Structure 1
Amino acid sequence: MKNRWTKLGTRSAALVLGAAILLPGLTAHAATTYTAKDSDTFWKLSQQMNIPLQKLMDANPNINPLNIYAGLKLTIPGEASASNKLTMNAAASAKPIQAVATASGKTLSYSKVLNITATAYSAAPEENGKWGAVDYFGNPLKLGTIAVDPNVIPFGTKLYVTGYDFSGLPTGGFVATASDAGSAIKGNRIDIFVPGSAKFVSDFGIQSVKVYILN
């Protein structure tokens, strides 16, 4: 169901270990250095540091949001550097306080749960246009690829999706990554990639699902 004819261009240029994200209008002495953890994303950092997500994203147009990893040095705006340091220290030592049990019995920590309207799409050419069967970043579509409105669920966010009823998806729920977009996917909507023919995938229809934003 995804219409990707207005899809944006592919982003690239992964960060190099030790590189810094520089934010406009700030001098070096006004910024704070933060060492990323494996679970960090731009969205999580914006929430923890009380910094607008769009400011981080717009300031780093060549940064791949799927490639923030442990040990990476990030530069955080320093308007309130003392406060940010306290927030970062607290975030680094904070323990998960919310968890969801998966169908396999694994426990996943999450920061937020959303009630979302979901549709599904296949790798069929008519659903993917001239870009072919790839996501927003040029990666091949696979089970676990989800198209989102990045203003609601930022790219790179890990998700646990449950509450659907469809034989083409794992029973009970599955872990996914927000790595695709589409002009028809706006607001509290997601489009789930499902392997199979367009006819088979269309049987998914429109369903209400729960989406857990994972830590």
Structure 2
Amino acid sequence: MNLHHWKKGIVAAALGLVIFAQGAAAHAEGTYKAKDNDTFWKLSQKFGVSVDLLQQANPFVEAGNIYDGLMLVIPAADKAKTVGPARILKQEAKAPAAKKSPAAEAKKSAEKMAVKTPAKKAAKAVTTASKAKKTTVKQTTVKQTAVKKPAVTKPQGDSVTVNGKSYAYSDVLKVKASAYTAAASENGWGPVDYFGNPLKLGTIAVDPDVIPMGTKVFITGYDHGGLPSGGMLAVASDQGSAISGNRIDIFVPQSQSQASKFGFQNVKVFILNK
């Protein structure tokens, strides 16, 4: 025999005895044929009796084993004086927590805002300050770069006029100038330039790293009686060990004593286009 059916049979027999023995004492309203979804709690609500009385009236029935067709004893309501309070207590236990009043909710919300808002504002202020600082540094760097000027200005597309003829130039250099002559003490290889050509008016010695050899130039800004007033055309065709960097040495067809009067002068050298 199936264990489940055997258990059902035992419970049914026991119930029969209980119903018979307690019928008069308990003033039972009667019996009830259970359904699959029934529980002692549901039945207590349905018949107005406490769960304890239902369990006392059905001592052989397990709370978790109420099945369809099971006969249960339902005690009289006048014996269940504790039903009302018991039911109320259970309902209170299951009842949801009381809702807070709108005023209380508003106060709580305001407190949260008061706590969070300063922190958010402070974080935003730090971020803004950081961005402002970065912007300031960047702008300062750009400004300093803009102020810095190149060593050589390049007025592109301009020209100079010499004896009525216009010469376009690409660069203008500010250099220190001196003068030299054809004296043997000043020229170890004789009165000739670097290429072996005779020294003449318009020959200058340069640093080839600054002014390439063979470059045509226009020199102005000097003051010396042995050179054309206002400026002169020249060619970078000579070099010298003392001529380095922004320096030139201008040949003058004079004696050493006359050339020495030139001294050192700051002049402008226009680099002419070929």
CA drift of 1:98 comes to 1.3
In structure 1, distance between residues paired with 2:231 and 2:264: 17
The residue aligned with 1:187 is 245
Q: Secondary structure at the match of 1:126?
A: coil
- CA distance in structure 1 between the aligned counterparts of 2:267 and 2:173, rounded to whole angstroms: 8
Distance 1:101 1:175 in 2: 11
Aligned residue type for 1:197: S
Deviation readout 1:175-195 (Å, 9 max, x if unpaired):
100000000000000000000
Give the structure with higher Rg (CA). 2
Structure 2 unaligned segments of length 5 or more: list them. Answer: 1-155
Say how many residue pairs are matched: 118
| Distance (Å, rounded) in 1 between the aligned partners of 2:170 and 2:236 | 16
Counterpart pick for 1:127 among 186, 189, 193: 186
Structure 2: how far apart are the matches of 1:105 and 1:209? 22
Residue 99 (structure 1) aligned with residue 159 (structure 2): yes
Q: Which residue of 2 aligns with 1:118?
A: 177
Structure number with the bigger relative contact order (C-alpha 8 A, sep ≥ 6) is: 1
The CA distance in 2 between the partners of 1:107 and 1:164, in whole Å, is: 21
1:121 partner letter: Y
SS in 1 for 2:185: helix
Distance 2:182 2:197 in 1: 12
Q: Indicate which of 105, 109, 116 corresponds to 2:168.
A: 109
Secondary structure of residue in 1 paired with 2:262: coil
CA displacement at 1:197 relative to structure 2: 0.5
Deviations 1:95-119 (A, max 9, x none): x7111233x3432100000001000
Paired residue for 1:155? 213
1:165 aligns with 2:165: no
Aligned to 1:198: 256
Once the two structures are superposed, the pairs formed by residues 1-215 of structure 1 within 5 Å of their partners are 97-102=157-162, 104-129=163-188, 131-215=189-273
SS at match of 2:222: coil
Counterparts of 1:150 and 1:206, CA distance in 2: 20
Query: 1:130-166: CA deviations, max 9, x gaps?
Result: x011000111000000000000000000000000000
Q: Report the 3-state secondary structure (helix = DSSP H, G, I; strand = E; otherwise coil) of the residue aligned with 1:175.
A: strand
For normalisation by structure 2, the TM-score amounts to: 0.42
Q: Which amino acid aligns with 2:178?
A: T
Give the whole-Å Cα distance in 1 for the aligned partners of 2:193 and 2:205: 8
Q: Which has the higher helix share?
A: 2
Return the alpha-carbon distance in structure 1 between the equivalents of residues 165 and 230 of structure 2: 12
Q: Name the structure 2 match of 1:34.
A: none
Tell me, which stretches of 5 or more residues in structure 1 are unaligned?
Answer: 1-95
TM-score (norm 1): 0.54
Give the Cα separation in 1 of the matches to 2:252 and 2:195: 18
Question: Could you tell me how far apart the structure 1 residues matched to 2:231 and 2:178 are?
Answer: 15
